[in-house]
Amino acid sequence: MMDPAEIEFLAEKEMVSVTPNFTQEKMHLIGGHVGPLNPGLPVDVPLWMAVNLKQGQKCRINPPEWMDIVVSLYISDSLQDKKQEETDSKFFTKMPSKHYMELTQILLNCATDDIPHADEIRTLVKDIWDLRIAKLRSSIDTFLKSDATHAK
Amino acid sequence: MSDIDEFNDDSGEEEEETMTTQEVLEKLEEAWLNEKFSPDLLESKSDLVECMLEQINGMEENIKRAKRGDFKVSIHRMEIDRIRYIVSSYLRCRLRKIENYTTYILEQERQRNEEDNSRLSPEELTYAEDYSNVLTGHLKTLALRHMPPNLQSLDPKQTVNRDTEGVLVEEETLDTGEEIVDLQQYDQHIMRYRPIAPLWGKTMKWAFTCPCVTCVNLLECKKHCLKSKMSMLDSLNNIKYIFMAIRKTTGFWFIIKQYNPDKYQKCLYFSTVIEPPILQYIQNYQYWGVNIYTTMYYWEWSRTTSTVE
């Protein structure tokens, strides 16, 4: 039904923050406006554009707030906290972004230098992913065996 | 480059529902995902599709006109590619469903009221009708015209109803279009005993006399006597066979139907073990039917008899 490429395609619509190193006036795309780009100032662009810019060495990607391992006083939801929450809860917990897995994969692949603690982040996200998949598997298994009409 | 911007703003305002192009795109994406995940053909959103296609065309023209200020051009081109992918994937998904469920969809279309929206766009309707005609024509030339006159029709009314499962094994099944055959086979997979059980009872009276002298009825013949079975098949050489194998997880049901042009006699021959020589024999026969022989599977052969030549 859906292959990984299509899922990535959907994830690429997410906005990420980049810091360009060139100037560009406001662009009117079919899918919306992309604000004026000025060197040194962070701006939100869709992920597909961000990756394209990065590959052309025209910008720096700023990691999203949640993509951080350090438990800081100001950011309450770091990845380690998320992982703890996921382990403790029986159901799925709310993830910082619907496409957290794809974002991590894509950003860590193309912008490793811009994201601090890349390896730890990769491990943490993978752990969270595994936890959720395991929950999904056992839930579906019980659901199918018990003949119920829906499963939470 | 400002041409591009102006164009975009204008077309956004020209929409009847005063939706911005962004909203149209979002709606189209939603329709695309719905279409992908729903097993049924959903309402056709041709207005969204048309709007997007207009946008793409307009944007492409602008790009051609604009000078080679490569950066903006490349970004716009990327976005066009993305939108084009969504549109074509959406339309392709719908076409796939139309091809799979042609008869059903056309039937629904005929029966709908005037007020309800059609689930097919005009082009899709033409496509569905043409496809249906081509398919029936193909089946007719391939198989149906060789069959006895009574059975030369494609019965569109295929129920996958439990009660009529037993009937599905009768002539109608062979005359159906491909997609319907698949449905039936699938259903019989799940409910394999229920249809077969009454069939078994039904067909006892049609059985042949078993060539091996000890038993009355071929169907009851427990002796997997190869020789006798082979001779049975040989003796019916002047009657054409249509074979159909429906797979059951513990064995095979072989349903041999014979069409005697002079008089109809239905015969069902069941074997829960397929002896390879018989399988080979059957496969060598001339037979028609739609994709039937491709579903034959090999199951393990247990040698229970002594006389094997």
What's the average model confidence in pLDDT over B72-94? 89
CATH number of B108-159: 1.20.58.1030
In which residue ranges of chain B is CATH 1.20.58.1030 found? 2-100, 108-159
**Residue A29 binned pLDDT confidence (cut-offs 50, 70, 90):** confident
- The shortest CB-CB distance from B71 to any of A1, A24, A26 is to A24
Among A151, A28, A23, smallest CA distance to A90 is for A151
pLDDT band per the 50, 70, 90 thresholds, residue B77: confident
pLDDT at position B179 is 25
Of A6, A9, A30, the CB nearest to B79: A30
Q: What is the pLDDT of residue B209?
A: 35
Confidence class for position B188, pLDDT limits 50, 70, 90: very low
Subunit contact A30:B37, Cβ cutoff 8 A: no
pLDDT of residue A26: 85
> Which one has a higher pLDDT value, A79 or B196?
A79
Comparing A128-132, B15-19, B40-44, B121-125, the range with the smallest average pLDDT is B15-19
pLDDT of B267 strictly over 50: no
Lowest mean pLDDT segment, chosen from A81-90, B181-190, B204-213: B181-190
ipTM of model? 0.79
Mean pLDDT (chain B, rounded): 56
Does residue B14 carry a pLDDT above 50?
Answer: no
Q: Residues of A with CB below 8 A from B2's CB?
A: none
The yes-or-no verdict on residue B112 having pLDDT over 70 is yes
**CB contact (8 A) between residue A28 and residue B5:** yes
pLDDT the model gives residue B150: 59
Q: Which residues of A touch B (CB under 8 A)?
A: 1-2, 6, 9, 12, 24, 26-32, 48-49, 52, 58
Q: What mean pLDDT comes out for the span B134-151?
A: 73
**Interface contact flag, B72 A27, Cβ < 8 Å:** yes
- pLDDT value at B228 more than 70: no
Residue B18, by phi and psi: left (phi above 0), alpha (psi -120 to 50) or beta?
left
Written as six digits, the tokens of B75 are 């970004």
**Residue B75 to residue A52, Cβ atoms within 8 A:** yes
Fold of B2-100: Methane Monooxygenase Hydroxylase; Chain G, domain 1 (1.20.58)
Lowest mean pLDDT, pick from A65-69, A116-120, B267-271: B267-271
CA distance A90 to A93: 9
Burial class (CB in 10 A: 0-12, 13-18, 19+), A16: buried
- Residue B202: what pLDDT? 29
Q: How far is CA B21 from CA B48, B68, B81, B82, in A?
A: 10, 25, 16, 15
Supply the Cα-derived Rg of chain B in whole angstroms: 29
Across the beta sheet with A59-62, the strand order is A43-46, A15-20, A59-62
Which chain B residues have a beta carbon less than 8 Å from that of A37? none
B268 vs B266: CA distance, rounded Å: 7
Model pLDDT for residues B249-266, shown as the tens digit of each residue: 223 333 333 333 333 233
Which carries the bigger pLDDT value, residue A117 or residue B261? Answer: A117
Q: For the segment A37-72, what is each residue's pLDDT rounded down to a tens digit?
A: 888 888 888 888 888 888 888 888 888 877 776 544
Binary contact (A1, B79; C-beta < 8 A): no
Is 60 exceeded by the pLDDT of residue B59? yes
For residue B122, pLDDT over 80 is answered with yes
Across the interface, whether the CB atoms of B78 and A24 are under 8 A apart is answered no
Please check whether residue B74 touches A, CB under 8 A. yes
B59 with A30: CB under 8 angstroms?
yes
Q: Tell which residue, A43, A46, A36, A42, has the closest CA to residue A13.
A: A46
Q: Are the C-beta atoms of residues B103 and B180 closer than 8 Å to each other?
A: yes
Rounded CA separation B292/B256 (Å): 12
Q: Which burial class, exposed, middle or buried, applies to B78 when counting CB atoms under 10 A from its CB (0-12, 13-18, 19+)?
A: middle
pTM here is 0.57
